Structure 1
Amino acid sequence: MISDPSAKIHELWDELADLPLAETRLSIELLFSRISEWVGADDAFWIGIARVQSEPHAANDVLHGWRLRTAERWITRPEYNAEFIRKVLAHMERDPGMGVRKVISEAGRFRSYRQRDGFIDFKAFRQTPQYEMYFKKGGITDRIWCVSPVNRDAESLFCFDRIRRRSHFTLEHERLVAQVLRGIKWFHRQLLLNHGLLVGKTPLSPTHRRLLPQLLSSKSEKEIADALGLSRATTHKYVTDIFRSFNVSSRAGLMTLWMGGT
């Protein structure tokens, strides 16, 4: 643990705020690595969650009308490509474990948990297929969950894992994670926007996500096309698609959205 957490947290918030809007991956890697260093986590990931059904239609839904739409991992491996992540999220939606069910059931408020703090029956969880598939095979010995609502239909979920360790996260570790993440609602908002959520319930395609950060820079469409190896016509089509997805008509409108405007 760090000796003066408030000072370090404020420094981290300033670093995140100073990064260009286009540097989404750099921003989330900074957040992953700094928090992981402070709490002794070996891996981390983020999931963007969107509400697709409201009451009464969500009453009998396995995830109460919510869906796990997109994800980012800290430690990237070749097998953790976009298709792999999509399949994992789809499987978790069809057959969510006890932890996922509990986290989603309490949507609408900022919340944090430790996997072994009693928020689920961990002994019962160890008998489930989800424990075998995701925890035992992956060597996960403990997890901190932290979820920040951004609006009534979108939430930002962070998880920090210990891998093959005897020691578990403490209450102080959980509180530190919560303190960091609760103070940057603007960051959760931009993270969801960068994945095509918040204003819509369907995430952007990988191609559109590659182009989106370029639109938040000062590059012209020609420069963006050259940077991505696309024709100008194809680039313009993708730009138009992105504007339509975010219900804006220009890059100025897109920038306003990112800066918290309407």
Structure 2
Amino acid sequence: MLGRIARFGANMHLVTDLTDPQNQEVYALWDQLADFSVGDSDAALTHLLSALRTMLSARNVLWGVLVRLPSPKRADPLLGWRPRLVRVLDPIPVVAASVQKQYETLWSNKVDLSQILSMSGDEPFRVRLLFEALPPEWFAGEHYRRHYLDVGFADSISVRIALNADVRIRLFVFRDGQSPRFTPQDAQRLGFAMRALRWFHREQLLSHGLLIANAPLTPAERKVLLALLDGHTEKHIAQKLDQSPNTTHFHVKAIYAKFGVSNRSALAALWLGKLR
């Protein structure tokens, strides 16, 4: 494999047929993601989610970042885990409303069994089929009706990837009721594709100021950061973002401070894994 093979080689644990067309499709996806500039992280994520939807004949895909609260309540059924970022490939209004409602529920006393099971466990990598993870009675309940059937979904595969002790990536691939249920082979294929992409998710989080930064980036800072990573000068960034050079310089200094670096070279080194 080309591209990021050095980064994900250590994560590979599956023995596969290199000539299998399905595996070739996964290898091509890895190379395509490796070809994206770090400044195009949003486009790269969209490409990943779109490719997974096509690969698994799915209806929609959701990608999210979970962070662990520093001081969770003793009786917290989610053990302190809460979403920090959520991205839906096709955020039609009914799906967006469902995601927002589930987010609000996580801070209430009405946490669903599916959410508890999703947060539980300390496995560094996990793939689950919906109909294997939950009991039959759950599918007659309100949560499945409200957040699956009412928004056009019937089945899902979930993937959870631990980036460190306090940050996890969670991905859901959904199918509708007109499609067959996901199979163990579908789950294995998705797991194969995702297991090698810890480097990709790390870059996604870095671009939002998570993992290493002292504080998450503001939307304005993130635009400047992505332009910096693409090699643009501060003058060009100011013109591109239609802001004054002083404003751009202020954002650059704030970015450096949040990442604990003093120059562009040290900032770029974070994406190469050369700095702690």
1:71 aligned to which of 86, 93, 101:
86
Report the counterpart of residue 114 of structure 1 in structure 2: 129
Structure 2, unpaired ranges of 5+: 1-18
Q: Deviations over 1:109-135 (max 9, x none)?
A: 200111112x1224225413x334321
Instruction: Describe how 1:1-262 pairs up with structure 2 within 5 A.
Output: 4-53=21-70, 59-77=74-92, 87-88=100-101, 90-95=103-108, 96-117=111-132, 119-128=133-142, 130-200=143-213, 203-262=216-275
Give percent identity, aligned residues only.
27
Aligned residues: 255
3-state SS of paired residue (1:41): coil
Q: Distance in 2 between matches of 1:197 and 1:259?
A: 15
How far 1:172 moved relative to its partner?
0.8
Higher gyration radius (CA): 2
Q: Describe the shift of the 1:99–1:78 C-alpha distance in structure 2 as closer, same or farther (beyond 3 A).
A: closer
Q: Is the 8 A contact 1:48 1:197 kept in 2?
A: no
Q: Distance in 2 between matches of 1:142 and 1:73?
A: 16
User: RMSD of aligned C-alpha atoms?
Assistant: 2.6
Q: Distance in 1 between matches of 2:175 and 2:90?
A: 13
Q: Deviations over 1:55-82 (max 9, x none)?
A: xx5642232122210112212447888x
Deviant stretches of 4+, over 6 Å: 78-81
3-state SS of paired residue (1:47): strand
How far 1:218 moved relative to its partner?
1.0
3-state SS of paired residue (2:270): helix
TM-score by length of 1: 0.87
Q: Which one-letter code corresponds to 2:49 in the other structure?
A: F
Q: Which one-letter code corresponds to 1:208 in the other structure?
A: E
Structure 1, unpaired ranges of 5+: none
TM-score by length of 2: 0.82
3-state SS of paired residue (1:94): coil
Q: Is the 8 A contact 1:68 1:89 kept in 2?
A: no
Q: Is the 8 A contact 1:50 1:197 kept in 2?
A: no
Q: Is the 8 A contact 1:48 1:157 kept in 2?
A: yes
Q: Describe the shift of the 1:207–1:121 C-alpha distance in structure 2 as closer, same or farther (beyond 3 A).
A: farther
